Structure 1
Amino acid sequence: MSLDGLAQVFGAGIASARPLHGGDLSEVLKVTLEDGRVMAVKRGERVDSEARMLAAMATAEAPVPEVLHQAGSLLCLQWLDEAPASAVGWQALGQGLRRLHNCRGAQYGWPEDYAFGPQPIPNGHAGDWPDFWARRRLLPFLPVLPMAQARRLEALARALPERLPARPTPALLHGDLWTGNALFGDGNAWMIDPACYHGHAEVDLAMLELFGNPTDAFWQGYGPQEPGRAERRPIYQLFPALVHFRLFGASYQGMVARLLSATGV
């Protein structure tokens, strides 16, 4: 569907459509209708999957933009007015993420696979959590790594049954929660651009720390953490680092090497 088709959906023509910053994996526009309504419109191959993920997050009472319309390659979302991050906003993000993680699945994974651009993200179920993390999140990257790093990654994958809990609660995860996917408003916070699946809640926390620095207010809002999280953090941070290495090249190879060293392999 072209943007022109939105006039029939919303009963008003398009006054303007302005590209927004970002858009590494999909095109994002700020669309203003002739009656003054404003929405965010995404164009991409997997916006139908994103709409289903946002619906699941909304059911968990997590703070996400409302899905206004989805058809074909178009996804229309509630427009969110941003403001600088504040202590209250960080606390709201922590509280919202805790609500998301309190929504539990029956098993690890997700009903459909996903992708970050050309990088497939397999979500098929696995018998236990170390197996899922090894086969679905780490080992798919072996072909793109230099041989020495690939061998270290294989060694880490073999050691995961001793490094990760066998069956942590299958929490509903955002799946791509870096600071750029957290929007702050006037005392509010929302999560956008999900890549949902069920897994260990610490995955979202680890990524948020990889590309940002959550404040004390965030941790107060989120609440208690599991013992031993610091030792597991680099294992979980390896996945987004590997994704960035695959998508954006050698500038992320140092991050992958640093995290492999941090795991002790």
Structure 2
Amino acid sequence: MNSLPQRAASLLGERVVRTTRLHGGDLYEVHFLHLASGATAVAKTGPRAAAEARMLAAIRDAGAPAPRVLGVGPDLLLIEALEDRGGPASAWRDLGRVLRKLHARIGPHYGWPEDHAFGPVAIDNQPSDHWPSFWAEHRLLSGLEELPAEIARRLEALAARMGERLPARPAASLLHGDLWSGNVLGASGRITGLIDPACYHGHAEVDLAMLALFGAPGDAFWEGYAASEPDLARRRPIYQLWPALVHLRLFGSGYRGLVERLLREAG
């Protein structure tokens, strides 16, 4: 099997002189590539390289910043290296503006043309025209057999009430799908790129809820986003349950307390 430098060189058309392992996700490897021309690139290895390339293209097509795709091969994605000095911390207002533009790209239905996954956790993106049903069936009830019985029972009870808790047909916005601060690159007061997407079309509040799960964006973000819907706070724990459940399934019982707290907040 060819090495990473050889595979990358074949796709890029120039020699890779050095690679540096970067801190990436827990589910793939990320390397910084130094090329013979003096240029740089980022290489991600994983089984869903082509799917991620299509998602990055969709984000760019919506007018939001994302790295250009430089090459795609079996289990390998090559993207441009973007400037990052602290993520969104100094660019909250611009992140609000960027997300507003992303969410303005409306799809024909909820879901995505193909399923996706966070490692072994499947993401069912089968299309639907009814948002509460999509969220109940393809998110809250997904992988129920892998969860503790008590949590599974409470999720089933909550899912049965989705028609009362979520709007039936909000705009099918283009979502990043895994929007936490580590997937946002920023420098000098602007967002340079959204990375590691798990895109689909759905209620824009899904991204907003995820962004607030592990840290709250400040007033500047909301000023940049310049839109919010009534009862956003009431729906937030319902939307935060999906990433919390993913963390529980991927990383174990340390996230059970978070899931139980969100179930209480979701009523």
User: Shorter chain as normaliser: what TM range?
Assistant: over 0.9
Q: 2 CA distance for matches of 1:68 and 1:197? A: 23
Of 191, 195, 198, the residue aligned with 2:194 is: 191
Q: 2 CA distance for matches of 1:42 and 1:6? A: 10
Q: For residues 127-182 of structure 1, what are the alpha-carbon distances to aligned partners after superposition, in whole Å with 9 as ceiling and x for unaligned?
A: 30000000000101321222222111101000010000000000000000011111
Q: 2 CA distance for matches of 1:191 and 1:86? A: 10
Q: For residues 17-47 of structure 1, what are the alpha-carbon distances to aligned partners after superposition, in whole Å with 9 as ceiling and x for unaligned?
A: 1110123111100000011101111011001
Matched AA of 2:84: E
**TM-score normalized with structure 2 length:** 0.95
Matched AA of 1:74: L
Question: What is the root-mean-square deviation of aligned Cα atoms in Å?
Answer: 1.4
> In the TM superposition, what is the alpha-carbon distance from 1:87 to its structure 2 partner?
6.7
Q: 2 CA distance for matches of 1:10 and 1:87? A: 33
Query: Residue 140 of structure 1: SS of its match in structure 2?
Result: coil
1:43-192, aligned counterparts within 5 Å? 43-85=45-87, 89-189=91-191, 190-192=193-195
Q: Residue 217 of structure 2 corresponds to which residue in structure 1?
A: 214
Matched AA of 1:138: L
Q: 2 CA distance for matches of 1:3 and 1:234? A: 44
Contact 2:12–2:71, Cα closer than 8 Å, also in 1: no
Contact 1:84–1:185, Cα closer than 8 Å, also in 2: yes
Q: 1 CA distance for matches of 2:162 and 2:11? A: 49
Query: Residue 68 of structure 1: SS of its match in structure 2?
Result: strand
Q: 1 CA distance for matches of 2:127 and 2:9? A: 41
Q: Residue 249 of structure 2 corresponds to which residue in structure 1?
A: 246
Query: Residue 210 of structure 1: SS of its match in structure 2?
Result: coil
| Percent identity over paired residues | 54
Q: Residue 237 of structure 1 corresponds to which residue in structure 2?
A: 240
Unaligned runs of 5+ in 1: none
Count of residues in correspondence between the two structures: 264
Matched AA of 1:261: R
Q: 2 CA distance for matches of 1:230 and 1:251? A: 25
Q: Residue 223 of structure 1 corresponds to which residue in structure 2?
A: 226
Q: 2 CA distance for matches of 1:224 and 1:40? A: 34
Contact 2:87–2:184, Cα closer than 8 Å, also in 1: no
Q: For residues 66-102 of structure 1, what are the alpha-carbon distances to aligned partners after superposition, in whole Å with 9 as ceiling and x for unaligned?
A: 1111122111111012113577621111111110000
Q: 2 CA distance for matches of 1:64 and 1:34? A: 24
Contact 1:62–1:99, Cα closer than 8 Å, also in 2: yes
Query: Residue 39 of structure 1: SS of its match in structure 2?
Result: strand
**TM-score normalized with structure 1 length:** 0.96
Q: 2 CA distance for matches of 1:22 and 1:28? A: 5
Matched AA of 2:229: E
Q: 2 CA distance for matches of 1:38 and 1:230? A: 42
Q: Residue 205 of structure 1 corresponds to which residue in structure 2?
A: 208
Unaligned runs of 5+ in 2: none
Matched AA of 2:207: D
Contact 2:206–2:239, Cα closer than 8 Å, also in 1: yes
> In the TM superposition, what is the alpha-carbon distance from 1:6 to its structure 2 partner?
2.8
